[in-house]
Amino acid sequence: MRSDVARSIALVMLMIVSVQMPMFDNAEEPVELKEEPAIEMVAQNPCQGYDACLGLDAGGYNSRLEVCPGGTGTCPVANLTSYVDYGSGSTTTTFYGYMDGFGSATSGLDDDDVYTMWVPWGYGVNVTISWNSTVTMMYGAIGASGLTSTYGGYDSFGYGASSGVTLSTVGTAVSGTALDIYLDCYSSYCKTSYGYTSDYRMDIETWPSDGGNYGDGTSQFGTGASTWDDGSTYVGMCGQYGGSYCEVGPGTNNGNDQGTKTIASGESFGLFYNHDNYANSESSITASCTSGASWSAARYSGTVSSIDASAVYATSFTGPDVCTVTTTDSLSDGGYEVYWAGLTPAVSGLLSTTLANPSVSTYGVVGTSDAYDVYAVVIPSNSFANITLEWNENADLDLRIYSDSGLVSLIASSAGSSNPEVADLGSTTDTTVYAKVSYFGAYSTDPAAGYRITLNLLPSVFPPCWNQDDGTAPGTGVYDGSGSGDAADVWNSNPMDMTGTTTFSGMLCDDYDEEDWYAITIPAYHGAYVKLTWDQTVFTDDLRLYLYVDRGYTTPSTVASASSSALDGAGVATTNESYLWTGVFYGLWGTPTELLINVDKYSLTSELEFNYTVEYSVYNQSGDYWGGPWDDAGSGTDAGNSSSYVQNPVQLVSMNNTYTGYGHDDLDMYDQYQIFVPPSYSMRVQLDAPDGNDVDLYVKYEASAGAYMSTLESSTGYGDRTSGSCQAMAIRTCTSS
């Protein structure tokens, strides 16, 4: 907490400044001299001037460029972390800023102000901006660290905004994250030279937040799907136009469906739905129960937006009752799919996850004005669990776990003086328990404490990919838990360095481990050939291979990929055709570069482990680095190298035969062959290539001498190729990898 003495001194300094300023300038008083300052005001003591009393422009000149107005010096983003207050209730800290509109960096004008702050566990933030004019002085946004404009973020305001506008994180959990406030002068409406005000007031209100919501609110949460009386999970369908949000695909029903749910005495269930982007105009839901309870979403009712969504809560019903739900769709192509889920009582939040992501956390605050919070904790089948509670303030928090929502039957607790507190639930599984976080005032100094509560699952039966040994030589992996573990799941999380290990293996599974990242260092002027192979149980078991480089952006840059849906157990990606890799402009060519290898799941049979092998070779990619052989179809030369015109094709004899040719994805991409097909004859051409290579086959003809060739037949993608035709033709192959 801030010191009252420091604030009193700061306030005196501001009063002295307010007495002196009229002696020096007859201009209109700044806004802060017309307002009575809040006691929480002033970041720097003594105040150094704009912005936020730090004496520097917040965030520099424009677009987060940390150049001071006037073009000289560095004006960093203003960090307010040390000055913003937090308490057991809503707490406001006031700052003042200045901006003078858009202009060149050397003109001395100040167009944008950018502030940042670290939000501790268990809090949310409101920011209210005020100014002394009736026009829209600025645009504004609040969002995750890194904002470069007022577009995006968690909340924003723009044209038409008036003084006193508020930005809020309500609905977004920002605990333990860096938060940016981005303010941008609107046109010339902050220029004093145009008669407008340039200074503004910024009130930052922090408030206790349980699960991202304002204050100590409670809600009911779904605890898992419950079937209809006939055993089905869903009524209706929205998969035709609902994308990944919908679970029921076209053909199951046409969106006109009905189901019944019997609810026993004392039971309570929530009605939830998924919908496509046409549901509001085409579809409806009607629920009616024998008790008289009902709920509906009619066509054009505005119940849903035109953006498809999932797990939307409709209402709840309590037994004893029998409820019938009907879905309709005017075009019979689906709109809603409806399902039931068990409901928790009103609690502060829900902790629920799976063994695929075995840990999940949420945040809250307890203190003198909010003694405890309660969370519903879902423990799935085949899982054991423990719950941890952590906090940073000088306070004593306790953790107790109950089997019932009435908090009567205690099954585990950690209520000593330790931090973190850890409660082990032993063999408790396949149930919902209730975790109570309490503030113990007798041993607490701070009046409130933000905390993080975490559910950690452990398998009672190991799921696929639980024990891994990625990066080992094929056939040598150890899968008893003592292996090297899982390769990185994201590109910037320390990918496993495989430089010098030209063949290695790994494991992926549906849901439990869907991608692995590796890194190899490639010398200057060199390239890489990377091949991925894996075993398929069915033809739809597909992986993808991607090559990337980190160029300092928020996402890595793509070099090459093998991402066809017809890879059939093998794929190859190389640096040969990448302009990013070889172009001098991009700065990679001629420099040792770390190449990122990403093995990614596209579609895998669930509950199975899939082993894969990566092989790579590094070669000098400068100059004429491939020397053939130049002996296509035994001709002793290279077949024609054009994809569009007849150009020196190798002539083939008009008879059944098999030929061998050679290609390269950079230095020999096309080969042309020409054959005459006699009248009344047809022809079938089959092309075979090594596994993992993408070679395309086209059968074309030239309508007149020198004309652009027209395609008669083609076969593209991965795997063997077959085409047929019945005219004189040129046969062209295209090598991609």
> Which residue is it, tokens 């330790």?
418
Among the listed residues 693, 415, 434, the one whose alpha carbon sits nearest the alpha carbon of residue 566: 693
H or E element, residue 599: strand 593-603
Q: Judge if 147 and 35 occupy the same domain.
A: yes
pLDDT of residue 625: 74
| Domain assignment of residue 466, yes or no | no
155-171: pLDDT as tens digits:
999 999 999 999 999 88
pLDDT of residue 565: 64
Out of 519-523, 594-598, 640-644, least confident range:
640-644
Return the CATH number at 273: 2.60.120
Higher pLDDT, 402 or 577: 402
Distances (CA, A) of 662 to 474, 560, 629, 654, 668: 30, 22, 7, 21, 8
pTM, 2 dp: 0.67
Higher pLDDT, 194 or 563: 194
Domain count, the chain: 5
pLDDT of residue 132: 93
For 207-259, give the DSSP string: EEEETTEEBT--B--EEEEE--TTS-S-EE--TTTSGGG-SSPTTS--S-EEE
What mean pLDDT do residues 371-375 have?
A: 93
| Domain assignment of residue 500, yes or no | yes
Confidence of residue 102 (pLDDT cuts 50, 70, 90): confident
Q: Judge if 175 and 238 occupy the same domain.
A: no
Q: Judge if 660 and 561 occupy the same domain.
A: no
Q: Judge if 208 and 232 occupy the same domain.
A: no
Of the chain, the percentage scoring pLDDT greater than 70 comes to 90
Residue ending a domain, choose from 592, 620, 648: 620
398-428: pLDDT as tens digits:
999 999 988 999 999 999 889 999 999 999 9
| Domain assignment of residue 491, yes or no | no
Q: Specify the amino acid at residue 465.
A: C
Statement: residue 556 has pLDDT above 90: yes
Rounded to the nearest integer, the mean pLDDT of the chain is 85
**What's the number of CA atoms in the CB half-sphere (13 Å) around residue 488?**
15
Of the chain, the percentage scoring pLDDT greater than 90 comes to 51
Confidence of residue 7 (pLDDT cuts 50, 70, 90): very low
Q: Judge if 580 and 714 occupy the same domain.
A: no
Confidence of residue 3 (pLDDT cuts 50, 70, 90): very low
Asked if 491 and 595 touch (Cβ cutoff 8 Å), the reply is: no
Statement: residue 11 has pLDDT above 50: no
pLDDT of residue 135: 95
112-169: pLDDT as tens digits:
999 999 999 999 999 999 999 999 999 999 999 999 999 889 999 999 999 999 999 9
What backbone phi and psi angles, to 5 degrees, belong to 380? -75, 170
Residue ending a domain, choose from 320, 343, 366: 343
What mean pLDDT do residues 380-388 have?
A: 93
| Domain assignment of residue 271, yes or no | yes
| Domain assignment of residue 483, yes or no | no
| Domain assignment of residue 124, yes or no | yes
Q: Judge if 174 and 197 occupy the same domain.
A: yes
Paired with 396 in beta bridges are: none
| Domain assignment of residue 487, yes or no | no
pLDDT of residue 32: 33
Statement: residue 504 has pLDDT above 50: yes
pLDDT of residue 4: 38
Q: Judge if 202 and 267 occupy the same domain.
A: no
* Distant-in-sequence contacts of 265-269, Cβ < 8 A, 24+ apart: 265/319, 265/320, 266/318, 266/319, 267/318, 267/319, 268/316, 268/317, 268/318, 268/319, 268/342, 268/343, 269/226, 269/316, 269/317, 269/340, 269/341, 269/342, 269/343
Q: Judge if 111 and 58 occupy the same domain.
A: yes
Q: Specify the amino acid at residue 332.
A: S
Higher pLDDT, 36 or 708: 708
Residue ending a domain, choose from 574, 591, 620: 620
Q: Judge if 236 and 146 occupy the same domain.
A: no
Statement: residue 41 has pLDDT above 60: no
pLDDT of residue 568: 78
pLDDT of residue 382: 87
Q: Judge if 558 and 614 occupy the same domain.
A: yes
Confidence of residue 539 (pLDDT cuts 50, 70, 90): confident
What mean pLDDT do residues 448-477 have?
A: 92
Confidence of residue 465 (pLDDT cuts 50, 70, 90): very high
d(CA 599, CA 602): 10
Tokens of 137: 């002085």
Higher pLDDT, 714 or 550: 550
- Residue 376, domain extent: 358-399+414-459
Q: What is the DSSP letter of 664?
A: B
Distances (CA, A) of 542 to 240, 488, 513, 514, 566: 23, 20, 14, 11, 8
Of 247-251, 348-352, 614-618, where does the model show the most confidence?
614-618
pLDDT of residue 373: 93
Q: Judge if 203 and 147 occupy the same domain.
A: yes
pLDDT of residue 587: 83
| Domain assignment of residue 205, yes or no | yes
Higher pLDDT, 17 or 696: 696
Query: For 387-426, what is the HEC assignment?
Result: EEEEECCCCCEEEEEECCCCCCCEEEEECCCCCCEEEECC
CB atoms within 10 A of CB 296: 15
Helix, strand, or coil (residue 356)? coil
Return the CATH number at 568: 2.60.120.380
pLDDT of residue 105: 59
Statement: residue 16 has pLDDT above 50: no
Q: Judge if 252 and 205 occupy the same domain.
A: no
